[in-house]
């Protein structure tokens, strides 16, 4: 039986339940408006390791361990871990999976990875291929800066369109419906790669906005839902510029999401006080906001139904040097409190 | 209903059929023993582009287009493309998906990517989430060398344990059972990350052998199959050293695969005449051997049932510089001629 709905969406027949979730973040994120929501705030972003890359990997590992501990699950119970990150060859994820011995599917979707991983985990469970699966991702300000932009030691000035990469990791454990009490994953819209020609690597918001708008449009078209069917439509890390552009692009398509639209990248920092310019970004942004704040507030009843739309800019330093523009993608996942 | 079999394997209930397949390779691969099997052999590995990276991306795109053309399918018919490659931020795949407008799931499994993508595509179809899905990957000798090792212009000497990265791409289109006539994907064993401490980035075979052995062991344990149930067990790109080690490791576990064991990395080049040292490697190795040679020979009746085990070394130049060993993974997929 097909579970397809329109061109880009699937409707889950046995919507997987969130079984557990955890988020660990760095000191700057702990000092932000969502600080109290996270399971752990690092005192030092080196996390006792010798490099930022090793610190990021440890943060991802500890977040996954914590998510298992919170649900009394062990690696023996979990059938798959879906993970990815921003580092070359997704080493945070692969080295995590060396320690956490669960069959591993490595993903790359840049900052869309949390939604990508959540989609895979949900589909594997709904289809009967897994009882429990973990979706997880991480990013680290310092490892990302030196890989994508400049060595931190250089002290390069950041343009006002730039975003601040979140030091943080998030993990969600999904399980079959009878095993959990929600929230539930009900619909998944997988994005296409969209590139309207933005070449400025310090303006990811503008590059990703067309992809966010396209996936949100596809979601409404495929499902027949309307913006008012959601209490919250939240993008991954579009930042100030991307949110504005996405809202405008959707208005041109006669879709008005302005009432319920928010962005993880604008929630995690006090942009002005914390000097983060256009907002936050990085896989860890939407991952920690989802697994720190959003799922808790769904459970608490603040939100009944949200559309989680993580967005990714699929550039590399090499593609930028070779004169390429920035292809982007967004994946959307419907998360709701109950199955009614 | 669960489709799980043991700890790491799923048995597909409605085994997806191979609908189409294509492989495009570079000149060196065209001159090798499998040359006549490939759909297209490039005259020049720049493929009319300005950089090796752009050439790799074009090769992947053209391979996917060819696979669709061979089955009279368009992008409108295909629900998902699962793709990944060796380049940082998998730019060959992401830029491919910018041109080929199909909902895109980016993967990273290093040289295990063909089996990883095939697993995902098969599971999505078996579960009713897709009617058609593409699994594809690529690698390019020159883009890989300068990213992972040395600039080619340096003329660095290659140790005898090293392998030669294949310039090639492969794509498989899978569809629901009634749409095809086989071969069929029936079982999928997803690997764990294994790392026995090898640090020599010029000896990938030794690093990957324990992962290959572990996944093959898990496959037999989970399914109850025996080596003689397959006419061919073929690894991705272990090379001379890795094949030898994997055979020995499995013998220690009382599993003797020596009768039917082969390696894509030892099939694509005439190792001695073509001076490729320990054999071939790269995502494009197992992808082009599968989609050029193996599927054809299954259809022709040479093989009735094969176990395709692509292996990946999950290192990055950064992890090597930071003193890390090489974590590896292998995923196994059963492909058989008929459903009897």
- The predicted-structure confidence for A318-331, as pLDDT tens digits, reads as follows 999 999 999 999 99
Contacts of A27 (CB under 8 A, 6+ apart): A41, A42, A43, A44, A45, A167
B72 contact A CB<8A:
no
CB contact under 8 A, A98 and B193: yes
Q: Which of B94, B77, B138 is nearest to A195 (CA)?
A: B94
Tell me if B127 and A130 make a contact (CB, 8 A cut-off). no
With beta carbons under 8 A apart, name residues in chain A contacting B124. 123, 127
CB of B187 within 8 Å of a chain A CB? The answer is: no
Q: Chain A closest CA to B31's CA: distance in Å?
A: 30
Euclidean distance between CA atoms A92 and A138, whole angstroms: 8
Answer whether A258 touches B (CB < 8 Å): no
Residues in chain B within 8 Å Cβ distance of A98: 193-195, 327
d(CA A99, CA B328): 12
For helices B204-223 and B239-252, give the axis angle rounded to 10 degrees.
Answer: 40
Q: Which residues of chain B have pLDDT under 70?
A: 1
Give the residue from A222, A217, A218, A219 showing the smallest Cα distance to A256.
Answer: A217
In chain A, alpha helices (H) = 27-30, 52-70, 91-99, 113-126, 141-148, 204-223, 239-252, 264-267, 283-288, 295-299, 317-321
Q: What pLDDT is recorded for position B180?
A: 79
- Give the tens place of pLDDT for each residue, A131-188: 999 999 999 999 999 999 889 999 889 899 999 999 999 999 999 977 779 999 999 9
Residue B290 DSSP one-character state: I
d(CA B115, CA B137): 10
Residue B291, SS3? helix
Per-residue pLDDT of A185-223, as tens digits, reads 999 999 999 999 999 988 999 999 999 999 999 999 999
C-beta atoms of A91 and B319 within 8 A:
yes
pLDDT of residue B193: 98
Average pLDDT over residues A230-240: 97
How close, in Å, is residue B246 to chain A by CA atoms? Answer: 19
Q: State the helix-helix crossing angle for B141-148 and B52-70, rounded to 10 degrees.
A: 140
pLDDT at res. B1: 64
Q: How far is B8 from chain A (nearest CA, A)?
A: 7
**Partner A contacted by B242 (CB < 8 A):** no
A263-277 pLDDT, tens per residue?
Answer: 999 999 998 899 999
- Give the max Cα distance, chain B: 57
CB contact under 8 A, A4 and B79: yes
Partner residue opposite B3 with nearest CB, options A129, A191, A322: A129
The minimum CA-CA distance between A45 and chain B, rounded to whole Å, is 18
């Amino acid at each position: 039986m097909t579970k397809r709905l329109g061109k880009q969406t699937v409707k889950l027949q046995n919507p997987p339940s969130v079984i557990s979730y955890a988020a660990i973040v760095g000191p700057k994120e702990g000092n932000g408006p969502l600080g109290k929501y996270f399971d752990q705030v690092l005192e030092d972003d080196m996390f006792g390791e010798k490099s930022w890359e090793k610190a990021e990997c440890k943060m991802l590992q500890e977040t996954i361990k914590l998510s298992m501990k919170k649900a009394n699950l062990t690696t023996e119970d979990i059938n798959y871990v879906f993970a990815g990150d921003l580092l070359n060859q997704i080493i945070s994820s692969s080295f995590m999976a060396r320690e956490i011995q669960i069959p591993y599917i490595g993903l790359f979707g840049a900052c869309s990875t949390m939604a990508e991983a959540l989609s895979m985990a949900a589909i594997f469970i709904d289809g009967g291929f897994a009882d429990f699966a973990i979706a997880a991702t991480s990013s680290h300000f310092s490892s990302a800066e030196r890989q994508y932009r400049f060595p931190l030691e250089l002290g390069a000035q950041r343009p006002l369109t730039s975003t601040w990469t979140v030091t943080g990791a998030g993990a969600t454990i999904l399980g079959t419906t009878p095993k959990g009490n929600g929230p539930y994953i009900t619909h998944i819209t997988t994005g296409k790669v969209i590139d309207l020609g933005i070449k400025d690597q310090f303006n990811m918001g503008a590059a990703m906005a067309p992809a966010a708008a396209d996936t949100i449009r596809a979601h409404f078209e495929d499902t027949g839902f309307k913006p008012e069917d959601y209490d919250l439509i939240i993008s991954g890390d579009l930042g100030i510029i991307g949110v504005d552009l996405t809202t405008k692009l959707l208005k041109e398509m006669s879709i008005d999401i302005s009432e319920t639209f928010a962005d993880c990248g604008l929630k995690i920092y006090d942009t002005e006080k914390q000097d983060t310019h256009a907002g936050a970004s990085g896989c860890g942004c939407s991952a920690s906001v989802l697994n720190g704040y959003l799922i808790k507030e769904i459970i608490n009843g603040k939100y009944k139904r949200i559309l989680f739309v993580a967005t990714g800019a699929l550039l590399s330093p090499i593609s930028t040097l070779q004169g390429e523009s920035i292809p982007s993608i967004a994946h959307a996942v419907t998360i709701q409190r109950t199955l009614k």
